[in-house]
Amino acid sequence: MKPYAHDRGYDVSRVFQEQESGINENRKQLHQLLQRAEQHAIQRMLIEFPDRWARFGYRYLERHLRGIRDL
């Protein structure tokens, strides 16, 4: 994902990475990411595998984070 971001001129300041199921709701990295997004501390988010981010409810997360460009 970093080469993809670099090729597009994006600065990567933080990578959130977990080895968890998209069904699991107790995900420390996901909670940190959502908290930063709610604080408007994220300008752009790249998601490598949306189905792994949230097996169910991806559209709800997308809607919640609509203010972030290039979601």
pTM for the whole structure = 0.62
- Amino acid letter, residue 68: I
Give the end-to-end CA distance of the chain in Å, rounded to a whole number. 14
Summarize pLDDT for 49-60 with one digit per residue, the tens: 777 777 667 777
d(CA 8, CA 26) in angstroms, rounded, equals: 32
> What pLDDT digit, counting tens, does each position of 14-50 carry?
888 877 665 666 788 888 888 888 888 888 888 887 7
